[in-house]
Amino acid sequence: MNAKQLITKNTKIGEMVQLYPKTADIMLSWGLSCVGCSINVFESVEDGARVHGQMSDKEIDALLKELNKVAKPIKKLKAGHFYITERALESIKEIALEEKKVGYGLRIKIKVEDNENVYDLQFRKNSKENDEVFCLKGQSLFLDKSSYKRLKGLQMDYLDNNMVSGFKFDKVNN
């Protein structure tokens, strides 16, 4: 396989589907229902193909080639020390359109509930006085000042697959 492939034999199925949701349909079209299995976070593409599909090396290579056709590098934009993927930014714009909030900024605030971070996302016409304000590709982001410090080194992405859809905040992988 080409060294530039984003999905390899060793890629975990759960991670692949999370990053590239269209791969779930491809796996299913090959008869591999392991995309919906609870152990897919531990199972590699090769393991799933061999165990569930009894595939040969040649078939696995063909599967990987097809999977990599839909896998695109995840582009991320920087807002100070916080990152947002283009996929998340596009989803914000789509949601704003659906909610008739085009031209509004998305305000991000972290609330702590039961020792867990809860991300409060709201469309607002204007930022609040102490918000950190960024504009990325025409979309305003208003980051609550106290939350901005806690957002350092985090990346906001949007996931949409057969198991979950919504915004996700993770540590940045460089």
- CB under 8 Å to 62, separation ≥6 — which residues? none
Residue 166: which domain range?
Answer: 76-171
State whether 64 and 80 are in the same domain. Answer: no
E strand or H helix at 165, and its extent? strand 165-171
State whether 163 and 102 are in the same domain. Answer: yes
The CATH number covering residue 20 comes to: 1.10.3910
Residue 110 within a domain? yes
pLDDT band at 161, cuts 50/70/90? low
42-101 pLDDT tens trace: 899 999 999 888 999 999 999 999 999 988 877 788 888 899 999 999 999 999 999 999
> Residue 71 in contact with residue 49, Cβ under 8 Å?
no
State whether 165 and 118 are in the same domain. Answer: yes
pTM: 0.65
104-143 pLDDT tens trace: 999 999 998 998 889 999 999 999 999 999 999 999 999 9
Report the number of distinct structural domains present in the chain. 2
Residue 6 within a domain? no
Residue 27 within a domain? yes
State whether 57 and 132 are in the same domain. Answer: no
Determine the length of the chain: 174
